[in-house]
Amino acid sequence: MPRMSHMQHMPLELSDLFVTPGSRVAVAECFVFDDLSAEGENLTVSPVTVRGEVTNTGGLVELTYTADFTYSKPCDRCLRETEKSMSHQFIHTLARSAEHEDSDDIIVVTGGALDLFSLVRDDILLELPVRHLCSEHCAGLCPKCGQNLNEGQCGCRSDAVDPRMAVLDTLL
Ligand SMILES: [Zn+2]
Ligand SMILES: [Zn+2]
């Protein structure tokens, strides 16, 4: 399948920045992630605007950026397609090799070129809230007939028996 996104995979060249204390590289990108449905949950994500910079403060190379986008997937309770917008700042320490002890927090930039596309993709997937509701007060679906209870009650409600009461019934 032809893909238009090959140009977005151009890595961010940081070789000069790594050897030049005091230097900075501006980051301004718009990434399209068209494969996120593979992550499940019927997730769709708008183009992601990425703005920030990489700075070499002498000894420390840091990437700071803000990602702005909207994403959409079904409400956890009522399954209605629900869109949310998100603007989140990410900060990463970059190094050319994993020689530091606490290397979990450090992005290793092999060959001085950062794969920003993959990094942003991982960042936003990790940052998406686990809970996704159309509203905090979403009433969900009736477990019996599937009626969307935000749109009105179904006939099942009156039959619903508290399971604790059901146990009492059998005892009596
Ligand atoms: Zn809902
Ligand atoms: Zn019902």
Mean pLDDT estimate for the chain: 85
Percent of the chain topping pLDDT 90? 64
Which pLDDT belongs to residue 79?
Answer: 94
Q: In degrees rounded to 5, what are phi and psi of residue 5? A: -95, 5
Ligand index nearest the alpha carbon of residue 131: 1
Listed residue (38, 61, 59) closest to 109, CA to CA: 61
Instruction: Please indicate whether residue 168 or residue 12 has the higher confidence score (pLDDT).
Output: 12
| 6 — pLDDT class (breaks 50, 70, 90) | very low
Contacts of 81-84 spanning 24+ positions with Cβ under 8 A: 82/132, 82/133, 82/134, 84/132
Task: Tell whether the model's pLDDT for residue 158 goes beyond 60.
Answer: no
Question: In the chain, what are the domain boundaries?
Answer: 5-137, 139-172
Structure tokens at 101: 């002890």
Per the CB < 8 A criterion, the answer to whether 62 and 42 are in contact is no
Instruction: Please indicate whether residue 160 or residue 22 has the higher confidence score (pLDDT).
Output: 22
Which pLDDT belongs to residue 159?
Answer: 53
CA of 168 to the centre of ligand 2 (A): 24
pTM for this model (two decimals): 0.79
CA of 130 to the centre of ligand 2 (A): 27
Instruction: Please indicate whether residue 171 or residue 48 has the higher confidence score (pLDDT).
Output: 48
Which pLDDT belongs to residue 110?
Answer: 86
Ligand index nearest the alpha carbon of residue 143: 2
In degrees to the nearest 10, what's the CA dihedral of 67, 116, 90, 66? -30
CA of 13 to the centre of ligand 1 (A): 44
Ligand index nearest the alpha carbon of residue 140: 1
pLDDT in tens, 87-145: 999 999 999 887 665 656 789 998 889 999 999 999 999 999 989 999 999 999 999 99
Ligand index nearest the alpha carbon of residue 153: 2
CA of 144 to the centre of ligand 2 (A): 5
Distance (Å, rounded) from C-alpha 170 to C-alpha 8?
Answer: 65
Which pLDDT belongs to residue 2?
Answer: 44
Q: In degrees rounded to 5, what are phi and psi of residue 120? A: -65, -40
Which pLDDT belongs to residue 39?
Answer: 60
